[in-house]
């Protein structure tokens, strides 16, 4: 998104939200700072996508969206079916594939048909063989544990994608430089 498109977005929000969103600000310096901040956060995305996400939010929200909410909405609009998969869908598919193919002879087929997150959750729980060998009495506990694992993995993925790509890269570089500059304690 260009700087000019950022200004267009800010003017749209000002027009739409009237008294709840003020752009331009009372001074040129504040207006420029606001435009630079919004552009820095949204520059990685094409204007068409930012505009669609903003309009989607405007239809749902009484108050103006923040740049972070716009990025979150962009991610929501771009999610694949696999990314939208719920823990229940993943759990049921895992059980159904294990029952249909059997773990011993159908392992490769099961692995190829499960989403990456579903497979990771199953492995964290104890593996496909463990799940396949569960008795009805232990299935409820395993399901609850799978839910926790799956949702934790999903939350981490969403946290990682909450920042725009350039900001994520900037944070990763900073973290890497901090790790490389950590002073070493002598004698250890």
**DSSP string across 6-30:** HHHHHHHHHHHHGGGS--S-SSHHH
**What average pLDDT score do residues 76-98 get?**
96
Q: Is the pLDDT of residue 183 over 90?
A: no
Q: What is the pLDDT at residue 185?
A: 61
* Residue 55 Cα distances to 23, 50, 65, 85, 165, angstroms: 17, 9, 10, 25, 22
Window from 40-49, 111-120, 152-161 with minimum mean pLDDT: 152-161
Residue 175 lies in a domain: no
Which of 30, 62, 78 marks a domain boundary? 78
- Helix H or strand E segment including 153: helix 136-160
Residue 144 is encoded by which pair of tokens? 């609850």
Say which CATH number the domain at 49 has.
1.10.8.200
Q: How high is the mean pLDDT of the chain?
A: 93
Q: What domain count does the chain have? A: 2
Given a cut of 70, is residue 187 above it in pLDDT?
no
Distance CA 62, CA 65 (A): 9
- pLDDT, average across residues 128-143: 95
Is the pLDDT reported for residue 174 higher than 60?
yes
Residues 72 and 106 in one domain: no
What is the helix (H) or strand (E) element at residue 179, kind and residue range? helix 165-180
pLDDT band at 186 (very low <50, low <70, confident <90, very high): low
Q: Calculate what percentage of the chain has a pLDDT beyond 90.
A: 82
Domain that holds residue 8: 3-78
Mean pLDDT of 139-145: 96
Average pLDDT over residues 155-182: 86
Q: What local confidence, expressed as pLDDT, does residue 161 receive?
A: 83
Among residues 78, 106, 136, which one ends one of the domains?
78
């Amino acid at each position: 998104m260009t700087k000019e498109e950022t200004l267009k977005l800010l003017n749209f929000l000002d027009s739409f939200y009237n008294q709840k969103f003020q752009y331009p600000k009372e001074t040129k310096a504040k207006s420029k700072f606001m435009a630079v901040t919004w552009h820095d956060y949204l520059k990685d995305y094409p204007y068409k996508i930012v505009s669609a996400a903003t309009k989607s939010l405007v239809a749902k929200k009484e108050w103006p969206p923040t740049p972070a909410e716009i990025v979150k909405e962009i991610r929501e609009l771009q999610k694949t079916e696999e990314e939208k998969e719920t823990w229940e869908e993943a759990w049921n598919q895992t059980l159904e594939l294990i029952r249909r193919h059997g773990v011993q002879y159908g392992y490769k087929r099961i692995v190829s048909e499960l989403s990456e997150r579903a497979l990771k959750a199953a492995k964290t729980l104890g593996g496909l063989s463990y799940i396949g060998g569960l008795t009805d009495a232990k299935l409820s506990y395993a399901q609850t544990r799978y839910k926790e694992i799956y949702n934790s993995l999903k939350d981490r993925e969403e946290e990682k994608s909450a920042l725009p790509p350039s900001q994520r890269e900037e944070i990763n570089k900073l973290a890497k430089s901090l790790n490389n500059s950590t002073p070493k304690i002598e004698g250890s």
